[in-house]
Structure 1
C-alpha cells in the first residue's frame, strides 16, 4: 500500500466512524490489519468502532489481542496510544454533546488504565458527564477513588481548571453528599485562584445553611476558605451565622467578636455587634448578662450612626443593617424607644437601597393609567412575599387566609423566598392555593421586578425584618400598596403603607410611634381554624413527676428567657406545693439549665422541681405534649405567638404579662378574643398571683379550660373564614383609598 493510498483509506475509515457508518469502517480496519498485522493503531481504531457499535466484548478482545503481542517495555507505550485514540473520540463526542457515548468511552479508558493516578483528568470528565446525564449521585467520588488520588501524591498532569469546574458542578448538584465535603477539602492544594474558590464556597455554604437547613455542614465547607484568607469579612460573617444556627454557640460568639474587632466602619460595627448579640441571645441562659452589656453598646453605636453626616453606605452593609434592631423587643418593653430606633434604621436603609438601585430600580411608578375599581372581570391582585410559607409559625397561621380567599374577587400570588431547593409539603400546598407561585433564591432585584411585572396591587410582607431580602424588596416599592402582616413587628420602612393590627395587640396611642399606618381589624389580626395534633411523647412517670402534681410548662426559644420573668416563674412554683416546671426550647442546654437553676436557688426553690425537655421532631408532637401541662407560663417582654395559639387551642390556661409593644401583647389579644381574662397580668405581682391562683385552684383551671373549649364555636380567633372576609374588606378599602388620592 502506497503512502497515498494508506492516507486515503484511513481518511475514508475515519469519516465512516465520524458519520456513524460503522460497518464499512470495520471492514476497512480489518482489511488494514490483514495487510499490516503489526500496525497496532489499526487495532485501536477497530476496537473503537466495535465499541461504538455497542459490541463492548469484541472491542476489548481486539485491544487485548494486540496487547498480547507486546513486549513488557511496549505495553506502557501501546496503552498510551490506545488511550489517546479513545481520548480524542471522547472529546469529539463531548463537543457535539453526545454525553452517553463520551461516558462509555471514558469508562473504558478508566478500565484500561485504572492504576495510573495521572489519569485523574479522565475521572474528572467522567464525573462531569455523569452530571450532564443526570445520573451522578456523589458515590462516584468514592467508587472512582478521586478523593484518594487527590490526597495521595503529586499529580503531574492534573488540569486544575477542570478540577475547579468539576467541584463547582458537584457542589451545585450534590452539596449534601458526605463525599462532596471530602472532595472540596482534597481540592484545596490545587486551587489556582483562591478568591474564586472562596466565592464558590460562600455560595454553596449559604445554600446548604438556608435552603437545606444544614448549618453545621455549611460551616465545615466554609472553614476551608480560612486556609486562604483567615480574615475575609464575608467568610467570617457567614461562619458566625452558621455556627450560631448549628448550635455551636461558643464558636459563633467568638467569631462574631472577631468580626467586631476587624471592622472599622461604623455601620459595619453595628452589624458585627448585632452578630455578637445574636450569638449571646441564641445561646441564652448564662450569656444574658453579657448580652445586656453588648446591647447597651449597640444603642450607642446606633445613635452614632444616626448622627453621621454622610449616611451613604455600601449595598451589602445596608442590607445587613435591616436586621440590626431585631433583638430590641427581647430586651425591653419600650414601645417609643424601640420603634424610634427601628424607624431610623429602616429609613437609612431605604435611602441607600434607592440610591444604589438607580434608574432601573428606583421607586416603581404607580400604575395610575389603568387603575380601576376591581370587578369580577378584574380581581384585586394580592401578592404575598415570605420565606416562611412552609412548616414554620408563619406558615401554620397564614395558610387559612390562602385557603379561604375569594378567588373571584382576589387573584393571589406567592413569592417564596429561598425556596428553590426546598421540598416541604406545606410549601407545596401553598403553591397549589394561589393563582401563580414563584420559587426564588435571594435576589431582591429579580423578585421585585417580577412583582412589578405581575402588576400586583397590594403586596403583603409576612416576614418584616426577619429576612433582609424582603426588606430590600419592599424598599424598592414594586407594588403601589405595601402591607406588613404577622412577622415580628412592623419594619419601619417608609415605603410600607400599612401594618395590620387589632384593638388589643397595640394600644390606642401606638400610631404616633409607627411610620406605617396601623390598620386595625375589628377584633383580631389573625385567626386559624385549628391545629393538627400528633401522638404525645411525654408522660409524668417518665419525667418522675407524681400524678397529682401541678405541672407548669414553657416552650420558647432561648432568647425569650428574660431573667426577670424567669424569676417571677420561680416565685410561682415556690408558692405552689407539689408543682413542677417543664422547660423546652432551643439554646445552649448547659447554659440554660445553669441559668434556670441559679435563679431557682436564689428564690429558695429546689432545682429538683425543674425538668428540661428536648425539642421534638414535629410541631404536631409538640402540641400533643402540651396536654401534660396544667398551666402554661408565657414569656415577657416577648410573648409567645404561635405557641400561645397552640396552648389556647389545646384548652390549657395561660398566664401572660401585658406590655405596650406589639411583642408584649400577642397573648393578650388572643386571650381577649377567646373570652378568657383569667391569667392576664399587667404587673409582675399580678403575673405571680395568677400563676399561683391557677396552680392551687383546680376549679378555676377547669373553668378556663371550659371557656377555651366553648370558644372553638364562638371566637373569631378560631373562625379563619370570617377572618379572611375581614382581611379582604381591609384590602378593598386600602385600594379604594389609593385610587382616590
Structure 2
C-alpha cells in the first residue's frame, strides 16, 4: 500500500491541497475503499491540520461492523507505519512521532514502542519517564524470546538510553538483560557504556548499579564484584563498598584473590575512617602481603594484576616501619614488573640520538597534573624550567584537564599528550618523543602510570612527589633531600635515592582567598586556644589521636577542630570515642565542613593557633599550606618518607619548634605551643621571614637543583652505556 501514483509528484513538491482534493474525489467515487480515508487523513496531517486528520480517520470505524474492525485496523496500521518511515527519511520527525503514537493507540507492540523512543531521541523529546508510561517493560517480560527486529531496535535504543544515568534506565536494563545476556553485541555495548559513564564521566554509583544487574546471572563473578567495590569506594559510598568487599572475600578461592580481598577490606575501612575496627583486617592484610612477597606467584587475573603495584601503600598509614614496609613494597614492585612484561609485549629501543649532545628531554607523567595537590605543587618546576637546556613533555594518564592543566602543563611545555588508558599508546608515544628522563608523579596513586614505568619507555626513570616510591625495579631514582629520609634509607630502597641539597620540593607559595570560618560561627571565644587537624580519614591513626587528646586535656580552654574527607559519622565516632577515653569533653571537639575552594580552605587555616600533624603519615600539602599561613605546627618525626614530610618542610622553613622525635615530645610541644603565646608569635614571625630566604619558597632555585640532578643522572647514564 502506498500513495496513489497520480499524486506522487504533488507529494514531492509538497502541494497538499491538490492531494486533499484528489482523495476527496476518490472517496466520493468509491466510498467503500477505506485506504482513501487513511491517505486523506495523512494529507491533512501533512498540512498540520490535526483535527481534520483525526476526524477523517474516525469515519470508517464508525460505520464498520465489529468483526471487521481488526482487519481494517491492520491495514490502517500498515499505512501509518509506512508513512512514519517515509517521514523519518524526510527528517520530518514530529510527524513520524505522531504517526507511531497513533499506531500504538490501535495496536501497541514492543517494536513500535522502541521505534517511538528512538524517534523521540532523534527529535530531542525523549525523557526516561515514558519508559513506564508505555509499559514497555511488561512487553519485554511477557516475551519469551525477542525477535531479530526487536533485538536490533533495543540495542540501538540502549546505545542511547545507557547515556542517561537514571533509575528508569536501570529498570529497563534489568528487564532486558536476561533476554540479551548471550548477545555478543549487547555485551560489548554494555561494557563500553560502563567504561564511558562510570570510568570516564564518573557516574560511579550508576556504573555500580548496572554491574549489580549482571550479578543476578553471575553472582560469583569476582572481577565484577571488585569493579562494583571500586565504583562505590571512589564515590565514597563506603557502606556499599564494604558489602561488596565482604562478598568478594566470601567467594575468593585462590591465594591471590584472598590477598586482593584483604586489600579491599582494609582500604575501605581506612579511607572511610573506620579505624576503631581495622585490627583484624590489618593483620590479615599484612600476613597476606608477606606471603605474596615470599611466593612471587604467577597472577592470571588481569584485574588484580593491574592494581598490584598499589596494594602495599596501606602499610604506610598504619605502621612506621621503614625496613619492613620497604621489604613488602619492593617485593610487590618486583612481582608487578615481572607480570607487566608477561602481559605486555612492547619492547622499547632507545635511540642512538640519545647519546648526542643536545637539550635533554624530560617527560612528566601523572593523572593529577591539574587542580590537585600534585599539580599545584609541581607546576612551579614546570614553569621555571630552563628551556634552552631542556625540552619538557607532559603525559596525562586518564585525567580531566582544567585551568591549571591548561596554564602550566599544556601551554608551558613543548608537547602535552592526553590519552585514556591504553598502555601501548603511551609507550609508543614516549619512545617516539625520545624522552631521556621520565618522571613519575603518581607513585602509588594510579595503576596506569605504574604499568608504564614498569615497562620502562625511557632510559632513565625517576619517582618524585608521590606518596613514596613504589619499589618497581625499572625506576632508577627516588628524589629526596637531607631530611625526608634517614641516612641509612638507601639499604631499604630498590631505587637509588637522589638527595637534593636542601628540599625535595620548592614552591612559589599558594593562592589565598577570604576566610569563611570564624570563632563566632563555632561558638569559640576569642581567647580560647584552637588546635586544628586538616587531614583525610586515611591519616587519622588512633594512636596519634590519643596524643592529640592528651594535649587538649592539658591546655585549658582549648578546642580541636577536625576537617577532612571520609565518612562523617565514622569520623565523629572515632574522635569522640577517643576523647571520652582520654577524659576530654565532647564539646571541645568540633567537626568542620569541607570548603568549596582550596584558596578558601587555606585562608581558614588562620583560625588555628596550632596545627596538629598526623603520624605515621604526615601532612604534605597541608603542612606547606600551614607554614605558608604562618601557623605553628606540631609533627611527629618517624623513619619512613611519609613520616618525615613535615620535618623536612619545617627544617627548610627554618623552624625546629614543634618537631617531635617521640610521642612524649609531641605532647610536650603541643602543650608548650598551646600555652605560650609568645612562642607562637615567634614561630609565626620566623615563618613570615622564611618566605624571603627559604629554599622551600623558592621555585626557581628548586628547579635549578632538579635540573642539575637530571644532568648528573644523564652523565652517569652516558658513562655506563658508552
Q: Shared fold by TM > 0.5? A: yes
| Equivalent residue number for residue 114 of structure 2 | 124
TM-score (norm 2): 0.88
> Structure 1 residues 399 and 44 mapped into 2: Cα distance closer, same or farther (>3 Å)?
farther
Q: For 1:467-526, what per-residue CA distance to the aligned partner results, in whole angstroms no more than 9, with x for missing partners?
A: 112111211222222222111111211122222222211122212211122222221222
After superposition, the Cα gap between the structure-2 partners of 1:591 and 1:69, relative to the gap in structure 1 and judged at 3 Å, is: closer
Q: CA deviation at 1:574?
A: 1.6
2:373 aligned residue = 393
Note closer, same or farther for the CA distance 1:116–1:235 as it changes in structure 2 (3 Å cut): farther
1:435-450 matches, cutoff 5 A: 435-450=414-429
Alpha-carbon separation, structure 2, partners of 1:279 and 1:13: 71
Q: Aligned-residue CA RMSD in angstroms? A: 3.5
Aligned mates of 1:270, 1:428 — CA distance in 2: 40
1:368 to 325, 344, 352: 352
Q: 1:426 to 1:232 in 2, by over 3 A?
A: same
Q: 1:306 aligns with which of 284, 293, 297?
A: 293
SS of the aligned residue for 1:553 comes to strand
Cα deviation for residue 331 of structure 1 reads 0.9
d(CA) in 1 for partners of 2:139, 2:526: 63
The answer as to whether partners of 1:147 and 1:186 remain within 8 angstroms in 2 is no
1:711 aligns with 2:690: yes
Residue 458 of structure 1 contacts residue 481 of structure 1 at CA under 8 Å; is this kept in 2? yes
Query: Structure 2 matches for 1:15-26, cutoff 5 A?
Result: 21-22=12-13
Q: Which moved more, 1:629-638 or 1:229-238?
A: 229-238
Structure 1 position 567 matched with structure 2 position 546? yes
Name the CA distance, whole Å, in 2 between partners of 1:384 and 1:129: 47
Partner of 1:328: 315
Counterpart selection for 2:662 from 683, 691, 695: 683
Task: Give the superposition deviation at 1:207.
Answer: 4.7
2:393 to 404, 413, 437: 413
Q: CA deviation at 1:624?
A: 1.8
Question: Does 2:185 correspond to 1:164?
Answer: no
Corresponding residue for residue 48 of structure 2? 57
Matches within 5 A, 1:146-165: 148-150=135-137, 159-165=150-156
CA-to-aligned-CA distance 1:313-333 (integer Å, 9 cap, x gap): 343321122221110111111
How far residue 82 of structure 1 moved from its aligned partner, in angstroms, is 5.5
1:106 matched to 2:96? The reply is yes
8 A contact 2:634–2:669 mirrored in 1:
yes
Secondary structure at the aligned position of 1:322 is classed as: helix
SS of 1:526's partner is coil
Q: Is 2:259–2:285's contact at 8 Å kept on the other side of the alignment?
A: yes
SS at match of 1:541: coil
Note closer, same or farther for the CA distance 1:40–1:733 as it changes in structure 2 (3 Å cut). Answer: farther
For the residue of structure 1 that corresponds to 2:438, the secondary structure is strand
- Paired residues, number: 709
Contact 1:26–1:46 (8 Å) recurs in 2: no
Shift, 1:655, TM fit: 0.4
User: Equivalent residue of 1:668, what SS?
Assistant: helix
Q: Does the aligned pair in 1 maintain the 2:477–2:498 contact within 8 Å?
A: yes
Q: CA deviation at 1:280?
A: 1.3
Residue 354 of structure 1, CA deviation: 0.5
| SS of residue paired to 1:581 | strand
Unaligned runs of 5+ in 2: none
Q: CA deviation at 1:570?
A: 1.2
TM-score with structure 1 length normalisation? 0.86
Cα distance in structure 1, aligned partners of 2:504 and 2:80: 69
Tell me how far apart the structure 2 counterparts of residues 716 and 47 of structure 1 sit (CA, whole Å).
Answer: 84
Q: Deviations over 1:222-253 (max 9, x none)?
A: 33233322222122112222333334333322
Distance in 1 (CA, whole Å) between partners of 2:215 and 2:204 is 17
Measured in 2, the distance between the counterparts of 1:146 and 1:718 equals: 63
Deviations 1:55-88 (A, max 9, x none): 5526996786465445456776566545545645
- Residues 572, 692 of structure 1: 8 Å contact kept: yes
| Cα distance in 2 between the residues matched to 1:640 and 1:154 | 55
Distance 2:411 2:450 in 1: 26
Q: Distance in 1 between matches of 2:484 and 2:317?
A: 16
- Residue 404 of structure 2 is aligned with which of 426, 438, 443? 426
Q: Specify whether residues 108 and 398 from structure 1 end up closer, same or farther in structure 2 by C-alpha distance, changes over 3 A only.
A: same
State the match for 1:315 in structure 2.
302
Equivalent in 336, 342, 360 of residue 355 of structure 1: 342
SS class of match (2:307): helix
Q: How much has 1:548 moved relative to structure 2?
A: 0.4
| 1:354-411 Cα deviation digits (max 9, x unpaired) | 01223xx2x3122225642224xxxx33322222122321122122223333444433
